[in-house]
Amino acid sequence: MPSLDPATVRAFLERRLPATLELLRELVGINSYTGNREGVNHQGRVTARHFESLGFTSAFVAHADPAMGDHLVMTRAGRTPRTLALISHLDTVFPPEEEARNGFRWLPEGDRIYGPGTNDIKGGTAMMHLVLSALREHDPEAFESVTWKLLWNATEETLSRHFAEVCQAHLDPAHTRAALVFEAEGRPRGPSALVVARKGRATFRIQVEGRGSHAGAKHARGANAITQLAQVVERIAQLTDYPRHLTFNVGTIRGGVAVNRVPHEASADLEMRAFTREVYQSGMSAVLALAGHGEVRSPADGHACQIRVDVLSESPPWPRNPRTDALFEVWSATARDLGLPLESEERGGLSDGNWICDQFPTLDGLGPHGDNDHCSERSADGSKLPEYVLISSFVPKALLNTAALSRLIRSSTP
């Protein structure tokens, strides 16, 4: 049973909320676009300072790509090596010029606070601070008993693989009971939902090489690369299989130079997403099988278009699994005790959870609630609104997280 008194913790969280929002305001005020190395490092230093006051020591880990900012790893050794990892990221998707152009900055309006990263994911970082503060105050025995690792990815938004290596280097799988990701809740309506699975994603480039020719004088000599690519694109569209949660999306396409030339080249970029490794692999094989001779040929001599397929990137699927389900059950039982409705969600979007779920029991969506992630525009008619977080979502979610952490720590064997 949780040893926390929910009413007392809730009162603490209410008192603490203004300081949490002040921390969030400070973080949102620093531009930490992934490509803004100095900004990301500044975000890391300010974040470290706030968590050092809770007894954490900080280490900055140089990125594999020297053009990127440092990852941040903070540690608080407990009485046992049993480890809980809390995960967030330092970067956002908004370049400084875009923030300036759209006047996108910290803006409280009713229950909403608009601003870059308010929801994705600086609100999650502020949530981590609030939850750890509450646990330290109201269940110090649990707080002191485990070793805490807090990890911030410098480049989550560009899906770089390096952070997974940082997690592996700093977390011992034998002792790590949970990797808890503080991404925001993604559903605009309905009860709270934690993320228990995420689709994996592969991106591809299809390049077709045809044969150019004069569209007037030597039309039959040409092998039209655009015609060929159009057929390939249609074939890719047919691969989407909703019952298997397998989707393909051709997102960009280009080809040709001028209308009086039979185009000698054309290319398209696409992505594929799937929840399970089997479905993911079958989709991958289907795309790779498109490579080779095309059926579009020169009528004059049969010269065939050539189709080439390159895999540009891969993020592995995070399928439903017993270790995640066991963690979710701790949050779910806690929510029942607290009288808070809680559901689970299998989400199409990616997070750092995709990279670490096969090494550590992983649960995601522990951040606050908001919407319009990755949007900075605001139109006069309100049809476009930028990213925001809901102030009222912090206290209930922090209460749930605090009580669930207490339960998790007290229920697990050393």
Q: Which residues bind Zn ion (CB under 5 A)?
A: 120-121
Instruction: Write down the least CB distance from residue 89 to Zn ion, Å.
Output: 6
120 or 265: CB nearest Zn ion: 120
Q: ∠ CA 145-149-151 to the nearest 5 degrees?
A: 160
Task: Kindly report whether the peptide bond that precedes residue 121 is cis, defined as omega within 30 degrees of 0.
Answer: yes
Instruction: Write down the least CB distance from residue 121 to Zn ion, Å.
Output: 4
Strand ranges (E), 117-276: 147-153, 176-181, 192-198, 200-209, 213-214, 247-255, 261-262, 265-274
Among 387, 360, 361, smallest CA distance to 375 is for: 387
121 or 164: CB nearest Zn ion: 121
139 or 373: CB nearest Zn ion: 373
87 or 305: CB nearest Zn ion: 87
Question: Backbone phi, then psi, for 126, in 5-degree steps?
Answer: -65, -35
Residue that has been written with the tokens 């298997």 in this structure = 244
Q: Are the C-beta atoms of residues 262 and 223 closer than 8 Å to each other?
A: yes
Instruction: Write down the least CB distance from residue 355 to Zn ion, Å.
Output: 13
Hey, what amino acid is at 263?
P
DSSP 8-state assignment for residue 318: B
116 or 210: CB nearest Zn ion: 116
Element (H, E) at 301: none
| Spatial separation of the C-alpha atoms in residues 368 and 400, rounded to whole Å | 11
Instruction: Write down the least CB distance from residue 42 to Zn ion, Å.
Output: 18
CA distances from 96 to 89, 257, 306 (A): 18, 35, 42
Instruction: Write down the least CB distance from residue 373 to Zn ion, Å.
Output: 7
34 or 401: CB nearest Zn ion: 34
Q: Are the C-beta atoms of residues 381 and 363 closer than 8 Å to each other?
A: no
Instruction: Write down the least CB distance from residue 73 to Zn ion, Å.
Output: 18
Pair of tokens at residue 105: 């900055």
Instruction: Write down the least CB distance from residue 343 to Zn ion, Å.
Output: 20
Question: Backbone phi, then psi, for 18, in 5-degree steps?
Answer: -60, -40
| Spatial separation of the C-alpha atoms in residues 361 and 161, rounded to whole Å | 19
Residue 201's beta-bridge partner residues? 273, 315
Instruction: Write down the least CB distance from residue 293 to Zn ion, Å.
Output: 42
Residue 149's beta-bridge partner residues? 75, 85
Instruction: Write down the least CB distance from residue 158 to Zn ion, Å.
Output: 11
Q: How many CB atoms lie within 10 A of CB 287?
A: 20
| Spatial separation of the C-alpha atoms in residues 126 and 121, rounded to whole Å | 9
123 or 283: CB nearest Zn ion: 123
316 or 365: CB nearest Zn ion: 365
Instruction: Write down the least CB distance from residue 276 to Zn ion, Å.
Output: 23
158 or 267: CB nearest Zn ion: 158
155 or 406: CB nearest Zn ion: 155
CA distances from 307 to 264, 303, 311 (A): 12, 13, 13
